[in-house]
Structure 1
Amino acid sequence: MKRDLDLVRKILMYYEDKEMDGMDRAIEVEGYSESSINYHLLLMDEAGLLRCERSVSSCTPSRVIKVYPFSLTWKGHEFLSSAKNESLWGKAKSLSLDKAGVLSFDIMKDLLISMAKDKLGLP
C-alpha cells in the first residue's frame, strides 16, 4: 500500500477539529477505504503525529495490528500548522514532485515551512 500525504493531512485536520480527546475505533474520510485509513493511522502513530492506543497481536506481541487514535501530538500539530493552507499545500506538492520527483514527508514539511517564512519575509 502506498503512503498518501493528502490522506495524512486530512486525518490530521479531522483530529484537530475534534472537540473531545477521546479514542476513535474507526474514522471515515471521504474517498478513502477503511483499510487505507487504518494503514495511514498506523503510519502516523509510528511517525509520532497522533497519540494512539495500540492493539497488538496475541501471537506476536511486538506486532501492532491496529491503532486507536485519540488526538494530535505536538509534532502532528506542528506539521498541520504548516500544511493547513490549501494554496501552500498545493504549491509544495507540485514543487516537490516537479523538481525532486518524490513526495516525502520531511521534504514537504521543510518546503511548507520555507514557503511560510518567505510569505512572512523571514530568512
Structure 2
Amino acid sequence: MKLKHDCVRYVLLSLEAQGIGMLQGVQLSQILPKLVNDQYSEDDITYTFLQLLDGGYINANYEKYVSGFSLIVFDITWKGHELLDSIRDDEVWKQTKKATSTLKSVSIGVLKNVASAVLTGIIKQKTGLPL
C-alpha cells in the first residue's frame, strides 16, 4: 500500500485538533469513523496510523493477533509535532507539494525538509530577516 502524504497531514492535523488519547489512549476503531471521508478510506487511514507509529511520529500501543490487531493511540510525539509544524500552513503545504510533484518518490524526511525550506523562504520574504 502507498503512504499518501496528504493523508499523513490530515491524520496529524486531526489528532492535534481532537486532542486524542493523552493518558488513557483511544482505540483506532473509535477514531476511524471520525476520520474516514470521501478522500481517505478506512484502509488509507489505518495504514497511515501504522506508518506514523513505525516512524516515531505518534505514541501508540500496537498488538497483533491472529484475527487482526489493536492500536491504542495516545498522542503525537515531538518528532510528529516537528513534521506537523513544518507542513501545517496551507500555503507551505501547497508549495511543498508543487516542489516535489515531479518526483516519483519522496520520503517523509525529504518532505519535511522541503517544507521547512519553503517556510524559511516565506518568512524571509515577509520579514526580510536573513535566515
* Structure-1-length-normalised TM-score: 0.83
Specify the alignment match of 2:107 in structure 1.
Answer: 104
Specify the alignment match of 2:59 in structure 1.
Answer: 51
CA RMSD for the aligned pairs?
A: 2.1
Deviation per CA, 1:65-120, whole angstroms, max 9, x where unpaired?
A: 4432121000111100010111111111111123x343321221011111111222
Matched residue count: 118
Identity, % of aligned positions: 25
Gaps spanning 5+ residues in structure 2: where?
Answer: 125-129
Q: How far off is 1:16 after superposition?
A: 0.7
* Structure-2-length-normalised TM-score: 0.78
Distance of 2:107 and 2:28 partners within structure 1: 28
Specify the alignment match of 1:17 in structure 2.
Answer: 17
Verify the 8 A CA contact 2:27 2:70 in the aligned structure 1: no
Q: How far off is 1:58 after superposition?
A: 5.4
Distance of 1:74 and 1:9 partners within structure 2: 15
Distance of 2:107 and 2:97 partners within structure 1: 9
Deviation per CA, 1:25-53, whole angstroms, max 9, x where unpaired?
A: 32223222212211111111000111101
Distance of 2:83 and 2:57 partners within structure 1: 8
Verify the 8 A CA contact 1:96 1:103 in the aligned structure 2: yes
